[in-house]
Amino acid sequence: MPSGEQDERLGEQVLEHVAEIAAGRCSITDATIAAEPDASSQEILAGLLMLHEDLEYGRLRQVTLLQDLRDAVRARDEFLSVASHELRTPLTTLGLQIDGLPRALQQQMGPLPENVSRRLGLIGRQVERLSALVTSLVDVSRISSGKLQLSKERADLVEIVRAVAERFGDDARRSGSALVFEGQGPIWGEYDVSRVDQVATNLLSNAIRYGLGKPIAIGVAPDGDRSRFWVADRGIGIPPEHQTRIFQQFERVAPATSYAGLGLGLWISRQLVEAMEGTISVRSEVNAGSVFTVDLPRGA
C-alpha cells in the first residue's frame, strides 16, 4: 500500500477510535495493535488505548466521589434530623418548668421580688432562643429531605403579621428600636399560619439584630389577588454583591464574630415562601437599612 493511502487509512482509524473513546467505548486491543503493519501505527493505537484506560479510571473515580459526596450529605441530614429531635425533648421539659416556676414561687412566697422575676424572664427568653435554633435545624432537615408539608387554612394575613409584631414588642424595646406596625385588615386568604408566622418572625428578628437600635416598620398590604408583607429596618444594610447570597444555606454576610446566628433563617424563609408559591426579595443599602418583602398568593 502506498504510504499516503496508509496514512489516510490510519488517520480515519484514529478519528473513529477517538470518537469511540469519547463515547466511553474502545475496540483497541493488544491483538489489533499487533495486527498493525508498522511500529508508528502500533504506537499511536497503544497511546489511544492508554488514553482510554486513563479516562475510564477518571470516570470511575468521579462516580465513586459523587457517591461519597451524596453519602456524606445524607449522613449530615440524618444527623441533623436525629440531633434536632433529640434536643427538643429536654427543651420541652426545661421550657415548661420555667413557665411554671413563677406561679409555683408566688404560691409559696407571694409576689416575686423584681430581681427574681427579671432573672426568670431572662432564662425564659434564652430557652425560647434555643427552641428557635433547634426548630430551624429541624426545618433544614425536613426541607433538605423534601418532607416539608404545608397546612393551609382560611386566615387574615394582617392578624398573623400583627401577632408577630406584638410578640416582638419587648425584644424591639430592649434593642432600642421603635417598632411600627403598618396595615389595615383584614386580608383574608388561604395561608399556612405557622409558616407565615415563622417567616415574619425570622425577618423581624433579623431586623432587630441588624437594626442598630433604629426604627423598624413591619407592614401588610393587599395586592390584587396576592398579598404582601414587609419588614424595613434602618440598620447596617447588605452590600449589593451579597444580596443574593444571603438566601443560601449557611450563608451570613455579617461577621460571625459580631453577630449571632446559624445562617439558616433566610434560607429557610425562602424555602417556605417558595413552597407557598410566593417570592421573597430584599432592597438594601449599606448603613441605610434593608427592606425584606414577601409576596404571597391569597390562594383559595
Partner 1 sequence: MTRNILVIDDDPDLRETLVLLLADHAVTVTAVGSGREGLSVLAEGSPPDLILLDLMMPEMNGWQFLEHVRADAALASIPVVIMTAHPAVDPLPAPVKETLRKPFAGATLLATIARHASPG
> Residue 270 CB, nearest distance to partner 1 (Å)?
18
Residue 93 in the binding site for partner 1 (CB under 8 A): yes
Residue 108 in the binding site for partner 1 (CB under 8 A): no
Rounded to whole angstroms, the Cα distance separating 50 from 29 reads: 11
Choice between 45 and 127, CB closer to partner 1: 127
Single residue of 13, 131, 243, 293 touching partner 1 by CB under 8 A = 131
Range in contact with partner 1 (rule: CB under 8 A) among 40-48, 67-75, 127-135, 232-240: 127-135
Rounded to whole angstroms, the Cα distance separating 117 from 123 reads: 10
Choice between 62 and 92, CB closer to partner 1: 92
Residue 103 in the binding site for partner 1 (CB under 8 A): yes
> Residue 278 CB, nearest distance to partner 1 (Å)?
19
Choice between 55 and 148, CB closer to partner 1: 148
> Residue 21 CB, nearest distance to partner 1 (Å)?
51
Residue 89 in the binding site for partner 1 (CB under 8 A): yes
Residue 169 in the binding site for partner 1 (CB under 8 A): no
Choice between 137 and 253, CB closer to partner 1: 137
Q: Which residue has the cell 437599612?
A: 289
Binding to partner 1, residues 139-168 (CB under 8 A): 142, 149, 151
- CB contact set of 232 (below 8 Å; sequence gap of 6+): 207, 216, 217, 218, 219, 289, 290, 291, 292
Binding to partner 1, residues 252-271 (CB under 8 A): none
Binding to partner 1, residues 67-86 (CB under 8 A): 84-85
Rounded to whole angstroms, the Cα distance separating 176 from 208 reads: 9
> Residue 169 CB, nearest distance to partner 1 (Å)?
17
Rounded to whole angstroms, the Cα distance separating 102 from 84 reads: 28
Residue 105 in the binding site for partner 1 (CB under 8 A): no
Range in contact with partner 1 (rule: CB under 8 A) among 21-29, 52-60, 99-107, 267-275: 99-107
Interface residues toward partner 1, by CB under 8 A: 84-85, 88-97, 99-100, 103-104, 107, 127, 131, 134, 138, 142, 149, 151
